[in-house]
Structure 1
Amino acid sequence: MVALRLASALVLGAIFGFGLAISGMLDPTRVRGFLDIAGNWDPSLGFVLGGAVMVAILGRLVQLRLSHPLFADRFQLPEKTEIDGRLIGGAAIFGIGWGMAGLCPGPAVADLMLGAPVVLVFVPAMLIGMALHDLLVAKPAAGSAAESSC
């Protein structure tokens, strides 16, 4: 079961990375162009985001019909649903970083294969930030689903 779970994660991660590469999400300049609505705006990534929303909706509809995932006993969904200061602050920090660097964690990890200098700075900084968060912010009780990912 563990081998199947790891193999499926590898295959799906490769498909995700391939999709990021084809869509242009690995190009920080293109991402910043999409986020620059007051300047030389590049709307092409809006189609990528729209497609991602459609795939997410389809995935959610499939998930609602299943009792559990194929390779796990239960779905790991967030239990916390309220919007609070931590969520807003974290989203703001993420958005500012995404706008400045033109990268978020998924594309940055996929971009490591290209060896771009900006990624070789971004990924270690991201990992240091994640480690500092774990050291400075109290962890939720064991077994809680309060953790999330990008």
Structure 2
Amino acid sequence: MTKKIIQINKNPVYDDGMIATVFGKDTEFYGDLTFKKSLQINGYFEGEIMSDGFLVIGDGAVVKANVKARAVIINGTVHGNIDAAEKLEILPTGKLYGNIRTAKLKIADGVVFEGKCEMVKSAQKSPSSTASPSAAEDPKKTASA
């Protein structure tokens, strides 16, 4: 079952109403971070973030990291590249100084974004994506009968 991110009381959360972990406004974290479910950062983080889950950068939070996650919502400031397999959403107070790689992108009015954006296909593979890319790109390599 795919969970959707919704907003309750102006805070983005899982559709079951819970964020698994929250780093509070007075929290500072330095280093590499991995997690599986959902995390909301409301303080300061510096390092690398890797996750199969959802990451929320809260209003007023500062993150200096390259981020790889299933879905990311930015409501604070991020200095680093974002690789969101499913989607990236930047809310009105969000600031991103870095490159984006994602399947779905939603940017609100008033957002600050300095970087490049690469839109990719969804993480789910379709039967057509299993074909050899070199054969599809170069007709000379295609076999004929």
Q: TM-score range by the shorter chain?
A: under 0.3
- Structure (1/2) with the larger helix percentage: 1
Higher RCO, Cα 8 Å, sep 6+: 1
- Structure (1/2) with the larger strand percentage: 2
Q: How does the TM-score come out when normalised to structure 2?
A: 0.24
Q: How does the TM-score come out when normalised to structure 1?
A: 0.24
